[in-house]
Amino acid sequence: MAAISDSMRAVIADGKGGPEVLKVVQIPVPRPAEGEILVKVEAAGVNRPDVAQREGRYPPPPGAPTTLGLEIAGTVVAVGPRVSRFAVGEPVMALVPGGGYADFAVVHETNALRIPEGLSMVEAGAVPETYFTVWTNVFERGALKTGETFLVHGGTSGIGTTAIQLAKAFGATVIATAGSEEKCAACLALGADLAINYREEDFVAAVKAFTDGRGANLILDMVGGDYIPRNYEAAAQDGRIVQIAFLHGSRIEMDFGRLMVKRLTHTGSTLRSRAVSEKAAIARALADRVLPLLAQGRVKPLIDSEFSLEEVARAHARMDGGEHIGKIVLRP
């Protein structure tokens, strides 16, 4: 640590509101505790939970940094006691509970992954939050199987672009919804079998028509609100719905009769507040099942745009505008 500066740049939300509340400030460089590594951040993904934190709707869990940012890629520059997986100088990508929008970040070594050969630092910075989220919700909670039909809403979001590619790689038929013809074309280019422009077409009717009336075996939804009863209609008998966000709100009045008649399973999860050990288990699964796909180029993060740390407000404005296709990445 002797050669590392005592202070660094980091992004805070100075109040609650729009992108204008984001400020770059100087704070002390964190020190790695037992089992932790200190990473010089070279890329940090921008995600919807960061927007929710900026707006005051998603506070960091106890003990997590109050500075923003949930995923990073960079180089290990220091290690804490009892670190055995990584050494100084190794490139890593990692899921962090906060503090990713900064020059340096600490993370428990079990929540970090080696960057596969052929993946750029920017691409690596767009992997952890989305790939951890998709793996645990689509393949663990959602139990997607080869040959099943998978519907993902928000197909051109970071989550959506990842879910399309991974579901196809593991043998599913993929349907995606998106808000324009350009975005639908992007979903198809990523491997989706059907892309539905939800502004011009009823996704329930489109899913039923595509599946000869059967519906989707698994639905990944980050919209909520009025999509919840429509998801019940679009789901197949014994279908599963995994909820990961509520862009249209988490409260709705509805008839749950379809849940019983169709024997549906509606579950959900969050990632940030999970214990280090739980995230470590997801990291191990990714290392075994997904990193080889990244190394082979069979799946790859889709990068929409890059911004410097000082341009963080512009990055969030891009996210808020909803026109992005793929991931937005900060380059400290």
Q: What pTM was estimated for this model as a whole?
A: 0.95
Strands 71-79 and 7-13: unpaired
**H helices of 203-331, where?**
203-210, 227-234, 257-261, 276-289, 291-296, 312-321
With both helix axes pointing from N to C terminus, report the angle between 227-234 and 203-210 in degrees, rounded to the nearest 10: 10
- Taking only the tens of pLDDT, the chain with its 332 residues reads 546 889 999 999 999 999 999 999 999 999 999 999 999 999 999 999 999 999 999 999 999 999 999 999 999 999 999 999 999 999 999 999 999 999 999 999 999 999 999 999 999 999 999 999 999 999 999 999 999 999 999 999 999 999 999 999 999 999 999 999 999 999 999 999 999 999 999 999 999 999 999 999 999 999 999 999 999 999 999 999 999 999 999 999 999 999 999 999 999 999 999 999 999 999 999 999 999 999 999 999 999 999 999 999 999 999 999 999 999 999 99
User: Helices then strands (H, E): number in the chain?
Assistant: 11, 15
Domains and CATH numbers, the chain: 7-127+274-331 (3.90.180.10), 131-268 (3.40.50.720)
Residue 76 bridge partners (DSSP) = 39
Six-digit token string for 137: 């919700």
3-state secondary structure of 303: strand
